[in-house]
Structure 1
Amino acid sequence: MKIFSNYQIIAQIFESSNSLVYRANRRHDNQPVILKVLKEDYPTPAELTRYKQEYEITRCLNIDGVIRAYDLQKYQNTLAIVLEDFGGESLDITLKYRKLSLPEFLAIAIKITKTLGEIHAANVIHKDINPANIVWNLKTDILKIIDFGISTVFTRENPIIKNPNILEGTLAYMSPEQTGRMNRVLEYTTDFYSLGATFYRILTGYLPFDTSDALELVHCHLAKQPLPPHELDPNIPKVVSNLIVKLLAKTAEERYQSAFGIAADLEECLRQFQICGEIADFPLAQQDFSDRLSIPQKLYGRDREIETLLSNFARIPEENSSEEQTRKCVEMILVSGYSGIGKSVLVQELYKPITARRGYFISGKFEQLQRNIPYSAIAAAFRSLIQQILAEDEAQLLEWRKKLLAAFGSNGQAIIDVIPEVQLIVGPQPPIQQLEPMEAQIRFNLVFQKFVRVFCQSSHPLVIFLDDLQWADAASLKSIELMLTDEQMKYLLLIAAYRDNEVSPTHPSILTLNRLEKEGVILNRITLAPLAAPQIAQLIADTLHSNIELVEPLAELIYRKTSGNPFFVNEFLKTIYQENLLKFDWQQRCWVWDIPQINALGITENVVDLLIDKLKKIPEAPQQALLLAACIGNRFDLKTLSIVCEKSLTDTFVDLLPAIQSGLIQPTSSLETTLNNPIDASLIILNYKFQHDRVQQAAYALIDDNHKQTVHLKIGRLLLASTLSDGQEENIFAIVDHLNKGKNLIASKAEKVHLSQLNLKAGYKAKESTAYTAAREYFISANKFFLEIYGKGKIIIKWL
């Protein structure tokens, strides 16, 4: 089969759903090579990006145990990677016809582990360690790791919930945190879990969990313990079995913390077997040291709150249960506490039971700088649900379409006006009849309730989490009321978090909640207090793998500085680590610190000031990019930011890299290419969020108050200029909000007229969505500009 004129194909050696792999010879020098070709004639942009990423990362890893990448070539409409051929085959193939002896296993396990350690030392997380991606030449005993298509060069990632059918990686070997359904970020220890699953398969011949149901497999990774290998095969020494079980721990902090520690234990096992012919038990992980600061992500001091949360979810009735018939209304959980106290991570403890019930968890966040955008958090939550549903198979999608169309009747456009992505499931809907405001509100309320009910079923309950309720708009508060008072809604749990120190008894959110309580709605309240000193001492002891007595002076200092705020505690630890005041001493094999030096650093007792200092140390271009991003919102996209920065997508992405690596912002989407031709294209990430509100607040605070109006006006103008007329409606609220913040700097009469028209357009859009409070604000703004231009006595906009 002729693919390239420069290569002679010898044989096809592998075929997956995406790729064809050939063994070939390069014609000009007869060099053996592997050709990995995208299978489809017209591959998706994601597939092209993955090949580009695999080539770029592989060619940069100059490691003996990693396959070498020679070239990336275009073939017709697809791509091919030219790779080293050292005569090996994947362990996945080898295991089909050959069972490895214990010493063979230990020898190759040591090789795999050491290579993985070198990969991590090069700041790469593989994310897809499994037997198919480990190639071994039995004759030469050379072993190499391949396939870096979903690897990352970032030290931490924050996976999001996706449909299990579209998760990147090999699900049978995937760590719990990589599924996106665990309240943990993804770090290099994710590869240790996959390594444990790989060792399990090699030694026992079985996978840790054997099921073809994707969601059930995810739940197994989250909540079930695999049978220890020695119980499957009594010939497997118990200490080897324990080593694998440790690698397969559900939480990263319970696994090995370094490839060095894993290899040391494997080498001890091999040494004993070679000398004695057997392996005696010995304490594991005695040589497991790492100089990376890794703060445990488990929750400290929240046992009672977690129990309250889980018991509330457990009250959602099961199918055909007696409670199903008696439950009269939806319950709501209110989680309150200061910023950084851990409200969001507490709520994420529900991921495990939700997955067990095959339910859906969706979330949205209200934003301080975008309070005028109606339904912002609710629309964001349901957008994520639509994305999960769109990944289901055609038969399931058809069922959803039928259910939604039945719920909508002729009024589907009312929902599409608020959540445009719904149209991707149901298709275009007929225009809705124009009604008087009161009638339009009633119609929207009924359609919205029916829409939500579609997703709330006994077979898949729905949990909606709305963060920062203190910044909710009036339309969103009304929608919350609709969900909670709908007697036909049974399988829904609504959770809202808010900062109780930022609301008064007359705050709109509090008034709404009080009214609901009077109407008989069950509100379950969880108030999070700061961590106590002993809890902080335990966190620090766990972080530094030390005992509480040794860390107590450091813990007391941190408690005094942070007042027990978990986010501040984490940032404090990161700061003294980055300043080299907390470091790992390889001679003593322990962490060391100097209290007087830490005190002398003069770390502020205000977390925002600490973050401002951190931001100031970033180079100027990345710092400016972050400042502008803070003006856009807690979540922002690269296209908008590049417009605001007046730079290319690639240059703007490069500016953001220091902020990503330092954890100030987190990507919320995968790598993409900037051009249709991926060989010449750059790799970029389009979507981001700030690590925390406090980071956004710190970045925004760096902009001089007198300059903020100028920045917002500039952003508004650039967004307006770059948005085509047919796209203005979708972005109208963001554009108008920025321009309104800078309205005092507008001198041109023509621009004032245009801004008045834009406010009018935003008002009409809000009115169509029955967000009348927001509509009124936009109409008032439009009228003010109108009066400024034409003076009193002129026509007042009739919608006021």
Structure 2
Amino acid sequence: MSIDPMKIGQENSHSTVVSEGLHTRIFRFVDENKEFGGCTGAVAMKILTDEFPEVEQISQLENEYRVTQHLSKLRFIRPALNFVKKEGKYAIYFDWAEGITLKEWIGILHKEMQITVDHNLNDRNVERTKNPRLKSAVSLALKISEAFVELHDSGVIHNDITVDNIIVKESKNYDKFSVKIIDLGLASLLSHHDCVSEKIRKDICCLGAVFFELFTGVNPYCTKDSDSIWNDGGAANMKNEINIDHDRYALLRTRVPWCLSTMIYNLVERRGQNCYYQSLTEVIKELHIILTDHTSLLSDKHDIKSNNPFHSQTNKLYGRARHFTMLVDAFRSVSHRTGLHEVVIVSGYSGAGKSALVQQLKAPVIENGGHFVCGKFDQQQQMEPLSVITAAFSNLCDMLASKDANELKQTRAVIKEVVGSEISVLVSLIPTLSQIIGSAKSQPVKVGCIEALNRLKYIFRLFVRSIATPARPLVLFMDDLQWADSVSLDLIESLITDGENKSLLFVGAYRENEVSQSHHLSIMIHKIERKSIPIIKIEVGDLSKEDTNELISDMIQTPAGQTRSLTDVVYRKTSGNVLFVLQFLWSLCDEYLLFFSLSSNQWLWNTAMIESKGVAHNVIELMSCKILQLSGESQNALKLMACLGSFCEEAILNLITGSDGMIALSEDYVSNAPQGLNCGHLDLFEALGFAVKKGLMIHIDSNYKFTHDQIQLACYSLIPKNMRGRWHLWIGNQVWANRAASPEKALFIAVGQLNKGTMFIHSKDRRIELARLNLEAGIKSMSLVAFAPAAFYLKTGMGLLHENSWSDHYDLCLQLYESYAESSYCQGKFVEMNYALQDIFDNARSSDDKLQAYFTLVRALGAQNKLPEALETGLFFLSELGEPIVISSDTKAIFLAEFSKTKHMLDGKTDDDLLSMSIMTNKTKITAVRLMSILSLYAYLSDQKLYSLLVFRMLQTSLLHGICHESIPGFASYGGLLSCCFRDIEGAYRFGQLSLRLLEKFEAKECLGQVYLVIYSLINGWIESHYSSLEPLQFAYSNQMRCGEIQYAMMSARQYCTHMYQCGVELSTVEKTCEDYGKMMIEHKQDLFYKYTLPYRQASLNLMGRSKDPLLLTGEAMDQDVLLNDAIGSKEMALVSLIYHQCSWLAFIFGDYGLASKMVEKINEIDTSTYPAFMISSYAFVEGLVSYALAHKTNEAKWEILGRNATDKMFQYASIVPINFQHKLLLLQAESLFFSGDSMNASK
């Protein structure tokens, strides 16, 4: 039976049109009785549709029938049942092949795979290519390959392999297929004279195009006619077609595991006149290998032959054994209690492997019970205050909090014991610390900016001491120090120079070619070296060729002897820079010049082609070329990440993209978005996932991070310079628009990005709005004691103002200039400060608006040790506040008048009356008392009379207007004046105790040091044991350090050293204490107080026999002549008298009474009437001993008279407080009796 093709023109009840081409139409007929001789119960009829078909069309149809008949026994070919030719109509009858075309199957496949990917977007940890349908596609590719091998083995070349010419039927379990090859009209039968290999290669390359479309869903060629590829140059045209369109290869690498993409590339790419595969049998072998190990080869796991082609020796270093030994030895030093903490600085060019070297130390540190903490500074995030330090120690706190309950309990106890209640300072900076110690019970005491920085450094030292112990040493690794901000370097320097911490190893790495001698880092290193702290310096250079060969050999797991040819060319092009080598190898893989052959199970490369490959001059250029081969979406995602820095938290990315991971832009934003992002949406996380898969980024702990800074710089370099500001501006707008989710993080990110795009902001209103944001960021930075970033934000805000801003936006201008002046003062940039202050003085609308500026100016003058100018400015400021202090030549009269006024105001007031005084509420008076408190320190150091007047006025103001925190030291200071100037011991003690009760009542911790200093230096020595002052003075030092009050802390330390010596503490202890506190004074630039410790330390050394001349205060601690001349020159008479006193004491002890007498005479020439009790009593005691010694020696009456006078003074002191002076009185009395010849009573 046959159906007449003449009668077939359209569908009817017997037929269905299933396909229609340019010249053909295919019908399907039901053949239930199998009358056509088929096996399927249906028949396909292919007819020529042209009324007058061309000879070529007829010839192709006849050829298809003839070839099909030749292949009739093959399972992959549908049988041809008949060929009909009648009245110019031609048709072939085929047994019906169930299924769909491969093109249709590909469409279904990729739709299903996209649904799976979309479903997994909610879980970004899902492996993107780990899709069950991918295995099915590989199984189908294997089945198709087997079909064409059978075809070729039967002597037939298809010549028209496309996705339309393959019929696919899939079983229900998705892993078994039946395949039929159709459309054999262009097929040819091979003869003995044909060039078989060339014709087979044509089918192989076309099959590669089919597989490309199978796995990507995209046809790799621009033309739809596959045969045209071979016309006019054949394979060369196909190569050009592919090379021109980099996005197609990018798509292949994006959607297909590395093993498959390499195979497909090798199918379609010719190497000269040759193909990589000589037959499809080799393809079948590789597909079998992939299916056998599909769990690893088709997943995203980094495994050889999979997506990451290279083997990674994570614990192996190349050419760095000596360097690593130096690091390990440094760690052993801090872990074996050698008594010294260690500092290691690693330098080298970018990509040399500095970070990788130090990271190798992590394993031995952890194995030996230590903690390894690392942080990395970022060029794009330099203005985020202390972000790197806080992130590093946040990770440490997470580690500590994860310990078992007992260890966590011990850690908590130690931290609380060492740091105390001031731990709240760190909790506000490192919130994760609360996991260890719990929530802070109290807020940090509010102090000034400089004091806050001092406090932070001291508390941070204590915290690190508490967690870095010999049993648990701490390794702190800070990477890319060349980009560290100044406040972070200050904090690092503070830790490094902490002599009390013996269990800290600091390792810093930086790029030496980016750090000049004037760089903050160079200055820090020089300062550390000047403090005699040894620094281990490690310079990391490029690899040698042998080390490079070892690296390559390990990476591709090929014997070193076989990789030398590859190493030679790689080394010539990279010079052994580690990062350059690695990225160059990646580029070879991306271009399929280096690939792993699954069939031969080895790595293959073409040295000649690699040698001819153009090479970038550096890693950035190389990576830029590589990134340009990625898809547009991937490039834009990487550019966006590069604008944010070398790493970014997912929380920040969510502010840009929204919760669904898609960047959705409003119409306004679309018009202003950078080119590439104005498409309205971008699946950022999907694109970043691909970047992770390609080794450009890593995703760890909810952070996306470039695998190297050079990659980030390469991505950033792809943004045209004149467009970078627009990118930053757009990112800043996105972050700020979505800030509600994370307001604190959003502030610094948004402002930092917006500031880089200010050149694109032209609206005055928007510039003012950004100025306000910079003010907010500046104030926040100041609260974090990050003065350099604060100054940057504030100065940027000032630069956004317009010429009428002082009139139109007065409050904003005033706050910006006030804050900028203060931040400049805190950095010691007094010129910039003065410019800002002058603007305030010129534009302020009232005296009240100048208050903050005056405070800043006074403190800045004091910081520069311009004490007279500071006092002059402060007194002017006080008069502006309504508290003028009169200064005249008759200072004594003014002193007595002010004392009488104060005494009169205090008459009749009991302690309870004073304790129950109202709180001062008048802001002007509070400001005045606060200023008096600041000025009193400057006056104490330079003008004692003015100091007394300030103390009197502080009390007077408090008695009239109420009490405030700053009033409390005034009561103690008043007691000190009563003691020193009026010898009113009872009154002095009363006001000293009153100030202590006020401290307790108002919880004024910040004032404790001032109060204790006065009480235990000037007052209690007349009432209590001198020895009892040691513990309070030491506590005052610690307290003031915790409050950041460095000057009062150092004054307390000075007094502590003095009292130790006077109280007879063991000399070696005195000497060591003076040395230790002296180092602290030098560190904090408190030279004035440091000088007062030197005579006591040198005298102790002399008395212990550790000086060349025991009579001279010259030796290890000081040079007597230098210090004495300096003191005389600067009119520091208290220091002069101290030097003379120690010289007289040494001269007496070592028997040079003449010299001792001369020193005593020099002391008597100085007014010591206001000196503390222990000082004037000590002067009298030494004078008495020297006088009696000379009386014995010369028998001159004058010496006996001087001795008796000294004894009388000591009698007065002993009658007031026997515990301090009775023993000295008895010794002088004994000397007097002995001189009188009453030896018996003298001995008693």
Q: Provide the secondary structure at the position in 2 that maps to 1:667.
A: strand
Q: Which amino acid aligns with 1:342?
A: G
Match for residue 25 of structure 2? none
Q: Which amino acid aligns with 2:592?
A: N
2:293 pairs with 1:121? no
Query: Superposition pairs for residues 117-156 of structure 1, below 5 Å?
Result: 117-123=293-299, 154-156=300-302
User: How far apart are residue 349 of structure 1 and its match?
Assistant: 1.8
Q: Which has the higher helix share?
A: 2
1:663 to 684, 691, 695: 695
Q: Deviations over 1:92-134 (max 9, x none)?
A: xxxxxxxxxxxxxxxxxxxxx99993311222xxxxxxxxxxx
Describe the shift of the 1:428–1:720 C-alpha distance in structure 2 as closer, same or farther (beyond 3 A): farther
2:752 pairs with 1:720? no
Match for residue 499 of structure 2? 487
Contact 1:365 1:468 in 2 (8 A): yes
Contact 1:467 1:496 in 2 (8 A): yes
Query: Superposition pairs for residues 307-318 of structure 1, below 5 Å?
Result: 307-318=325-336
User: How far apart are residue 661 of structure 1 and its match?
Assistant: 1.1
Q: Provide the secondary structure at the position in 1 that maps to 2:506.
A: strand
Q: Provide the secondary structure at the position in 1 that maps to 2:403.
A: coil
1:305 to 293, 318, 323: 323
User: How far apart are residue 464 of structure 1 and its match?
Assistant: 0.8
User: How far apart are residue 548 of structure 1 and its match?
Assistant: 4.2
Q: Which amino acid aligns with 2:794?
A: F
Match for residue 381 of structure 1? 392
Q: Which amino acid aligns with 1:480?
A: I
Contact 1:627 1:703 in 2 (8 A): yes
Greater mean alpha carbon deviation, residues 749-758 or residues 400-409: 400-409
Number of aligned residue pairs: 521
Contact 2:652 2:745 in 1 (8 A): no
Q: Which has the higher strand share?
A: 1
- Could you tell me how far apart the structure 2 residues matched to 1:703 and 1:584 are? 34
2:313 pairs with 1:293? no
- Could you tell me how far apart the structure 2 residues matched to 1:771 and 1:418 are? 12
Contact 2:130 2:298 in 1 (8 A): no
Describe the shift of the 1:545–1:379 C-alpha distance in structure 2 as closer, same or farther (beyond 3 A): same
Q: Which amino acid aligns with 2:317?
A: L
- Could you tell me how far apart the structure 2 residues matched to 1:291 and 1:422 are? 38
Larger Rg: 2
Match for residue 756 of structure 1? 771
- Could you tell me how far apart the structure 1 residues matched to 2:478 and 2:686 are? 32
2:434 pairs with 1:423? yes
Match for residue 778 of structure 1? 793
- Could you tell me how far apart the structure 2 residues matched to 1:749 and 1:718 are? 20
Match for residue 851 of structure 2? none
Match for residue 375 of structure 2? 364
Query: Superposition pairs for residues 636-647 of structure 1, below 5 Å?
Result: 636-645=648-657
- Could you tell me how far apart the structure 2 residues matched to 1:258 and 1:663 are? 15
User: How far apart are residue 598 of structure 1 and its match?
Assistant: 1.4
1:767 to 754, 768, 782: 782
Q: Deviations over 1:67-87 (max 9, x none)?
A: xxxxxxxxxxxxxxxxxxxxx
2:619 pairs with 1:607? yes
Query: Superposition pairs for residues 305-704 of structure 1, below 5 Å?
Result: 305-318=323-336, 324=337, 327=339, 329-425=340-436, 426-585=438-597, 588-645=600-657, 648-649=660-661, 651-669=683-701, 686-704=702-720
- Could you tell me how far apart the structure 2 residues matched to 1:548 and 1:578 are? 23
Match for residue 722 of structure 2? 706
- Could you tell me how far apart the structure 1 residues matched to 2:127 and 2:485 are? 44
In angstroms, what is the RMSD of aligned CA positions? 3.1
Describe the shift of the 1:55–1:746 C-alpha distance in structure 2 as closer, same or farther (beyond 3 A): closer
- Could you tell me how far apart the structure 2 residues matched to 1:295 and 1:435 are? 52
Contact 1:296 1:542 in 2 (8 A): yes
- Could you tell me how far apart the structure 1 residues matched to 2:290 and 2:713 are? 42
User: How far apart are residue 389 of structure 1 and its match?
Assistant: 2.1
Describe the shift of the 1:560–1:56 C-alpha distance in structure 2 as closer, same or farther (beyond 3 A): closer
- Could you tell me how far apart the structure 2 residues matched to 1:774 and 1:530 are? 35
Contact 1:407 1:447 in 2 (8 A): no
Q: Which amino acid aligns with 1:155?
A: K
Q: Provide the secondary structure at the position in 1 that maps to 2:616.
A: coil
User: How far apart are residue 788 of structure 1 and its match?
Assistant: 5.1
Q: Which amino acid aligns with 2:371?
A: Y
Describe the shift of the 1:781–1:407 C-alpha distance in structure 2 as closer, same or farther (beyond 3 A): farther
Describe the shift of the 1:722–1:560 C-alpha distance in structure 2 as closer, same or farther (beyond 3 A): same
User: How far apart are residue 439 of structure 1 and its match?
Assistant: 2.2
Greater mean alpha carbon deviation, residues 696-705 or residues 542-551: 542-551
Q: Which amino acid aligns with 1:294?
A: H
Describe the shift of the 1:311–1:116 C-alpha distance in structure 2 as closer, same or farther (beyond 3 A): farther
| TM-score, L = length of structure 2 | 0.40
Match for residue 170 of structure 1? none
User: How far apart are residue 391 of structure 1 and its match?
Assistant: 2.1
- Could you tell me how far apart the structure 2 residues matched to 1:537 and 1:382 are? 39
Q: Provide the secondary structure at the position in 1 that maps to 2:563.
A: helix
Q: Deviations over 1:255-286 (max 9, x none)?
A: xx799xxxxxxxxxxxxxxxxxxxxxxxxxxx
User: How far apart are residue 786 of structure 1 and its match?
Assistant: 3.7
User: How far apart are residue 459 of structure 1 and its match?
Assistant: 2.1
Contact 1:117 1:258 in 2 (8 A): no
Contact 2:646 2:712 in 1 (8 A): yes
List alignment gaps of at least 5 residues for structure 1. 1-48, 64-112, 124-153, 157-187, 189-256, 260-289, 319-323, 670-685
Q: Which amino acid aligns with 2:689?
A: L
Match for residue 18 of structure 1? none
Q: Provide the secondary structure at the position in 1 that maps to 2:656.
A: helix
Q: Which amino acid aligns with 1:334?
A: I
User: How far apart are residue 54 of structure 1 and its match?
Assistant: 11
Q: Provide the secondary structure at the position in 2 that maps to 1:417.
A: helix
Q: Provide the secondary structure at the position in 2 that maps to 1:311.
A: helix
User: How far apart are residue 487 of structure 1 and its match?
Assistant: 1.4
- Could you tell me how far apart the structure 1 residues matched to 2:128 and 2:569 are? 47
User: How far apart are residue 611 of structure 1 and its match?
Assistant: 0.7
- Could you tell me how far apart the structure 2 residues matched to 1:494 and 1:605 are? 34
Describe the shift of the 1:52–1:752 C-alpha distance in structure 2 as closer, same or farther (beyond 3 A): closer
Identity %: 32
- Could you tell me how far apart the structure 2 residues matched to 1:732 and 1:401 are? 33
Q: Which amino acid aligns with 1:754?
A: E
Contact 2:312 2:555 in 1 (8 A): yes
Describe the shift of the 1:549–1:53 C-alpha distance in structure 2 as closer, same or farther (beyond 3 A): closer
User: How far apart are residue 768 of structure 1 and its match?
Assistant: 1.7
List alignment gaps of at least 5 residues for structure 2. 1-121, 137-288, 663-682, 822-1244
Contact 1:568 1:607 in 2 (8 A): yes
Match for residue 1013 of structure 2? none
Greater mean alpha carbon deviation, residues 651-660 or residues 483-492: 651-660
Q: Provide the secondary structure at the position in 1 that maps to 2:365.
A: helix
Contact 1:309 1:350 in 2 (8 A): yes
- Could you tell me how far apart the structure 2 residues matched to 1:745 and 1:118 are? 52
Q: Deviations over 1:604-658 (max 9, x none)?
A: 2321111111111111112111110111121113343354357832632222222
Contact 2:311 2:557 in 1 (8 A): no
Q: Deviations over 1:393-422 (max 9, x none)?
A: 344334333333334433233213332322
Contact 2:639 2:719 in 1 (8 A): yes
Contact 1:371 1:471 in 2 (8 A): yes
Q: Deviations over 1:42-63 (max 9, x none)?
A: xxxxxxx999969996967979
